[in-house]
Amino acid sequence: MSASLTGGRTSAVESSRTWPLIDRIMLAFCWIAGITACVIAFAIVAFMAYKGLEFLRPNLFVERPNATFDQSKSGGFLDPLIGTILLTTMGTLVAIPASVAVAIWLTEYGRPFGLARAVESAVEIIAGTPSIVLAIFGLIIFQQEVFGFLSFRAEGGSVFGRSFFTAALMMSLIALPLIVGATREGLQAIPSHVREASYALGKSKWATIQRVLLPSVRPAIGTGTVLGMGRIAGDTAIVVVLLGASLQIQGYGDIPGLDILRGNGGTLTSYTYVNSPAGEGAAPDKAYAAAFVLLMISIGLNLFVSRLARSGKSASAAATR
């Protein structure tokens, strides 16, 4: 009986052979576009792996860079690596509390309506501003007298405005829209009866936010944060304008630790740029190696995000069951 039944059915796999020509061309285009994207992504990773691994040596990670045309003496990228880690950490530390606060205000308060719309637009504008514009803006701001403590004074007494502090503050703006967006989505996914259940136990709004809502959106905050870290680690413009993009980290002042934060430096992005044929071209081999390390960092962060998102999804699915 089953054989006679399946014989009567049309094939489960739909064939495009009967389609009009234009539809078939469109279909072919979709296939080509998808495959091309894969090929490009694979080509980037493969090329950078080939070029990078060829020149990547363990000593590159521990030697400080030197400005010389002699490749054997130009050192490694210890300082830029530390710069990337330091700048990403500082930028994220500033961005998380600010972004979570903005997201909570928007979702849980958001009154008056006009102000909420204005805050939303502001976050969108920040998200849409090119980082070079943020950098120039930051430079103007941080060269003001009041912000002198964030950097140092150049010869002649004017505020220099370029330091890890000032660069990190502007970098936090790069991460902010991503963390705000992820946190808001997380908060909006919590059903209102969960909040009401907390209020019905005699809890204030603030207690509810602290003990119920924030723990629920922790995976979302994590996702936004890691995305933001990727953006900070990959940004060049702010490093060039606000950090000095120097090869070595140069501290200013006498207080250990603080001198570095008030001083100049570079990151893997600026190191790659400066050493590549596009910059001064002093050490293209090392630029490839640094670029490969940078690529690995951002791919790693992205993989981490998708894992976080998956665990967050299963957690919120359990919460809304």
- Contact residues: other proteins, CB under 8 A: 1, 3-5, 8-9, 191, 193-194, 196-204, 206-207, 210-212, 215-216, 315, 318-321
Distances from the Cα of 89 to the Cαs of 130, 171, 308, in angstroms?
21, 10, 19
**Lookup result for tokens 């998708």:** 306
Give phi and psi for 264, each to the nearest 5: -100, 170
Contact indicator for 297, 81 with CB cutoff of 8 Å: no
Which class for 222: exposed (0-12), middle (13-18), buried (19 or more C-beta within 10 A)? buried
Return the number of the residue (45 or 189) whose C-beta is nearest other proteins: 189
Report the C-alpha gap between 53 and 47 in whole angstroms. 10
Q: Determine the 3-state secondary structure of 136 from DSSP.
A: helix
Report the C-alpha gap between 241 and 222 in whole angstroms. 29
Return the number of the residue (54 or 196) whose C-beta is nearest other proteins: 196
> Taking phi first (over 0 means left), then psi (-120 to 50 degrees means alpha), and beta for anything else, what does residue 7 get?
alpha
Give the type of residue at 76.
G
Contact indicator for 65, 272 with CB cutoff of 8 Å: no
Q: How far is the CB of 102 from other proteins (least distance, A)?
A: 21
Q: How far is the CB of 194 from other proteins (least distance, A)?
A: 5
Which class for 11: exposed (0-12), middle (13-18), buried (19 or more C-beta within 10 A)? exposed
Q: How far is the CB of 197 from other proteins (least distance, A)?
A: 5
Q: How far is the CB of 220 from other proteins (least distance, A)?
A: 12
Q: How far is the CB of 248 from other proteins (least distance, A)?
A: 46
Report the C-alpha gap between 42 and 40 in whole angstroms. 5
Return the number of the residue (166 or 198) whose C-beta is nearest other proteins: 198
**Closest listed residue to residue 239, CA positions, set 294, 304, 158, 289:** 294
Return the number of the residue (107 or 216) whose C-beta is nearest other proteins: 216
Return the number of the residue (14 or 70) whose C-beta is nearest other proteins: 14
Contact indicator for 268, 81 with CB cutoff of 8 Å: yes
Return the number of the residue (198 or 269) whose C-beta is nearest other proteins: 198
Q: How far is the CB of 176 from other proteins (least distance, A)?
A: 25
Return the number of the residue (13 or 318) whose C-beta is nearest other proteins: 318
Q: How far is the CB of 12 from other proteins (least distance, A)?
A: 13
Q: How far is the CB of 184 from other proteins (least distance, A)?
A: 18
Return the number of the residue (181 or 186) whose C-beta is nearest other proteins: 186
